């Protein structure tokens, strides 16, 4: 998506540890016009897939999932919560995820009330790096016996293995910008086309 790539070049900041900061328009301050374009693009890509629900993970996925849902005739959005307690109740589906940005493992949970076997679910997230967040969400959808339609990712870091691994497993992954390489010393960002 040209508009998104231009914005990443203009305002993205490459940090050490292969982290791309896009806080000025995606992850902290939000450019809602760009968000709407992103939502419309995901809706175009998955328009014939009978999506009944969008699943994301707190916190940065929620806003993107909401604008996307509006482009899908307001299908419900469910977000996986990062569990803070050690007790997992019987009422939730759960899965463990290793955080890319913090390096620790945490549990994500979704109430069994909000995913049903007949659901056809589009997963939305801001970044794809090693694919752990997506794998955790897919596990939850599988526990519920629902269908994974695919994943819509705003920025994939193509030099990290998540995208390739998931596509090899047969998951449809659509990323609106794929970073081929980035350099924290020069600030250069190159996209894959």
Footprint on this chain of ligand 5GP (rule: CB under 6 A): 19-21, 27, 60, 100-101, 125-133, 157, 162
Minimum CB–partner distance for residue 153 and ligand 5GP (Å): 9
* Nearer of residues 112 and 132 to ligand 5GP, judged by Cβ: 132
Closest to ligand 5GP by CB, 132 or 172 = 132
Say if residues 80 and 59 touch (Cβ distance below 8 Å). Answer: no
Nearer to ligand 5GP, 39 or 162 (CB): 162
The residue among 102 and 193 lying less far from ligand 5GP, judged by its C-beta, is 102
Minimum CB separation from ligand 5GP for residue 48, in Å?
Answer: 27
Rounded least distance, CB 60 to ligand 5GP, Å: 5
Q: Least distance in Å: CB of 121 to ligand 5GP?
A: 17
Return the axis-axis angle of helices 60-71 and 32-45, rounded to nearest 10°: 60
Which lies closer to ligand 5GP via its Cβ, residue 1 or residue 112? 1
The DSSP bridge partners found for residue 148 are: 121
Please, which residues have CB within 8 angstroms of residue 117's CB and are 6 or more apart in sequence? 144, 145, 146
Measured from the CB of residue 145, what is the shortest distance to ligand 5GP in angstroms?
Answer: 24
The residue among 118 and 180 lying less far from ligand 5GP, judged by its C-beta, is: 180
Q: How far is the CB of 17 from ligand 5GP (least distance, A)?
A: 8
Separation between Cα atoms, residue 88 and residue 105, nearest integer Å: 15
Rounded distance between C-alpha atoms, residue 133 and residue 131, angstroms: 6
Give the whole-angstrom CA distance, residue 127 versus residue 134.
Answer: 10
């Amino acid at each position: 998506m040209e508009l998104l790539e231009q914005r990443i070049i203009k305002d993205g900041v490459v940090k050490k540890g292969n982290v791309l900061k896009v806080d000025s328009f995606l992850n902290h301050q939000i450019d809602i016009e760009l968000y709407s374009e992103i939502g419309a693009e995901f809706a175009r890509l998955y328009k014939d897939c009978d999506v009944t629900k969008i699943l994301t993970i707190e916190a940065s996925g929620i806003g993107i999932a909401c604008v996307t849902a509006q482009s899908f005739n307001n299908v419900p959005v469910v977000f996986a919560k990062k569990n803070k307690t050690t007790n997992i109740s019987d009422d939730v589906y759960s899965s463990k995820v290793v955080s890319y940005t913090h390096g620790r493992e945490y549990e994500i949970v979704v109430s069994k009330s909000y995913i049903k076997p007949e659901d056809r679910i589009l997963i939305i997230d801001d970044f794809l790096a090693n694919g752990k967040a997506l794998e955790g969400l897919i596990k939850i959808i599988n526990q519920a016996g629902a269908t994974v339609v695919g994943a819509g990712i705003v920025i994939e870091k193509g030099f990290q293995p998540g995208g390739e691994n998931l596509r090899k497993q047969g998951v449809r992954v659509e990323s609106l910008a794929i970073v081929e390489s980035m350099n924290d010393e020069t600030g250069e960002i190159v996209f894959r086309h």
